[in-house]
Amino acid sequence: MDDKSFNPFAMAQAQFDKVADTLDLDGGTREFLRNPMREYQFSIPVRMDDGTTHTFRGFRVQHNDARGPCKGGIRFHPQETINTVRALSMWMTWKCAVVDIPLGGGKGGVVCDPHNLSAREQEQICRNWVRQLAKNVGPLSDIPAPDVMTSAQHMLWMLDEFEAIHGAKYPGFITGKPVGMGGSLGRTEATGFGVIYTLREALKQLDIRPEETVASVQGFGNVAQYAIRLYEQIGGKVVCVSCWDQADQKSYSFKKDDGVNLDTLLEITDRFGGIDKDKARDLGYEILAGEAWLEQDVDILIPAALENQITGANADKISPRVKVIAEGANGPTTPEADKVIEERGIFIIPDFLANAGGVTCSYFEQVQSNMNYFWEKDEVLGKLDVKMTSAFIAVSDMARKRKLYMRDAAYVIAIARVAQACRDRGWV
């Protein structure tokens, strides 16, 4: 998001347009689906701890709700933009459709940096965000969730404010809540585990044994941490991770040829996924430039940070050894990079398939909250595995039958489902 020349919404629209041509969508349907149905932009005034008032900028975009209520996270990020939120809401529409859950796409955000805000200030942002949207979101219309730099605590503050405004209990209004307060067991692991469920299936298809692979991971937040944990459990080894350093305002990669130790790294990691460089160096890690994760001599790359990370400018730095890219982040690969990856025959698991475990488990949480009956963790993760595996097989079968790039195959399935829902409703 810090690249001012990069417009993620234009990229999302370009990806859509390519598949719209493949599907031969009519002009009306195409125009309807390539833009959000509704979007909200608003100011959030907050009295800061020092007594001053600061106004933050907030967003909520509802891309499409033909298949069900909108669903999507809320980001707190200093470089948040309306175009980022538009793109993410569109990707959420396709994500819900490709795993075939009855939800549409939405996304929200606030331009702020939680690193520099007290808990009280963050709480006020959460409550004021809900006040601005209380009539436009809810369990039957638009269900938010946590995303970059937001947590279960933020969701609980938002739920409390929504319930106070409406004078009733609505646990299905928001997902990602703390367990015991309407949250689902397994939700914390869901996105990262979902990435590895699809990676496991890709390796089966490619006839590669997980225990014979090594990987490099960008990011060390929730998604990356749980992806690394499950990948190691199925036999793989991670030799490099990267993260953002708040003090230096830049990213670094942490390399260890004999494999990173996840539990040890977690002991020197802050709540935003930032690893202490000095302590990592003492543990034997080589500290490299932030982009070095992409250049490692590995079998698998897992971008699990932000969008616009693998581009036309750096895709040629990917090692010839790389066989699979599993996109844990949203929109990490640009169309220019896709061309390079496709030409090289690298198997890609596109973002809105690979990281759909989060929204799938959010859907499970919503179902549990609405019926006030909660499943055990093994049941949640078992259902998640079934959903992710089924979605992967459907996309890979489509890719093989129609000789499509995996990203295009996933889009064909998702867009066709949403377009059909719009036609069935008589919207287009």
- Judgement on whether residues 303 and 243 belong to the same structural domain of the protein: yes
* Residue where one domain finishes, among candidates 141, 171, 201: 171
Where residue 56 sits, what CATH number does that domain have? 3.40.50.10860
Contacts of 266 (CB under 8 A, 6+ apart): 225
Domain of 98, in residue numbers: 39-171
User: What are the two backbone dihedrals, phi and then psi, of residue 199, each rounded to the nearest 5 degrees?
Assistant: -60, -40
Contacts of 138 (CB under 8 A, 6+ apart): 162, 166, 170, 173
At 307, is the pLDDT very low, low, confident or very high (cuts 50, 70, 90)?
confident
Lookup: tokens for 221: 């937040």
- Judgement on whether residues 251 and 167 belong to the same structural domain of the protein: no
Residue 367 has pLDDT above 90, yes or no: yes
- Judgement on whether residues 344 and 220 belong to the same structural domain of the protein: yes
Residue 180 has pLDDT above 80, yes or no: yes
- Judgement on whether residues 198 and 257 belong to the same structural domain of the protein: yes
- Judgement on whether residues 219 and 303 belong to the same structural domain of the protein: yes
pLDDT at 6: 82
pLDDT at 306: 85
91-124 residue pLDDT tens:
999 999 999 999 999 999 999 999 999 999 999 9
Residue 426, in any domain of the structure: no
Lookup: tokens for 77: 């990020």
Lookup: tokens for 207: 């006839």
At 410, is the pLDDT very low, low, confident or very high (cuts 50, 70, 90)?
very high
* 380-392 mean pLDDT: 98
Contacts of 397 (CB under 8 A, 6+ apart): none
Cβ–Cβ under 8 Å, residues 89 and 124: no
Where residue 285 sits, what CATH number does that domain have? 3.40.50.720
Number of independent structural domains in the chain: 2
What percent of the chain is predicted at pLDDT more than 90?
Answer: 94
- Judgement on whether residues 146 and 227 belong to the same structural domain of the protein: no
Residue 89, in any domain of the structure: yes
The candidate with the shortest Cα–Cα distance to 86, out of 160, 11, 138, is 11
Name the maximum alpha-carbon separation found in the chain: 63
pLDDT at 1: 47
329-366 residue pLDDT tens:
989 999 999 999 999 999 999 999 999 999 999 999 99
Beta-strand pair 214-218/237-245: parallel
- Judgement on whether residues 194 and 101 belong to the same structural domain of the protein: no
- Judgement on whether residues 206 and 299 belong to the same structural domain of the protein: yes
pLDDT at 148: 87
- Judgement on whether residues 141 and 281 belong to the same structural domain of the protein: no
Residue 108, in any domain of the structure: yes
* 416-426 mean pLDDT: 98
28-60 residue pLDDT tens:
999 999 999 999 999 999 999 999 999 999 999
Cβ–Cβ under 8 Å, residues 264 and 257: no
- Judgement on whether residues 217 and 345 belong to the same structural domain of the protein: yes
Cβ–Cβ under 8 Å, residues 338 and 362: no
Residue 113, in any domain of the structure: yes
Q: How many Cα atoms within 13 Å fall on the side-chain side of residue 196?
A: 25
* Residue where one domain finishes, among candidates 136, 171, 206: 171
pLDDT at 212: 97
Cβ–Cβ under 8 Å, residues 195 and 358: no
- Judgement on whether residues 104 and 239 belong to the same structural domain of the protein: no
Residues assigned a catalytic role: 107
Cβ–Cβ under 8 Å, residues 189 and 176: no
pLDDT at 3: 58
pLDDT at 4: 63
- Judgement on whether residues 107 and 217 belong to the same structural domain of the protein: no
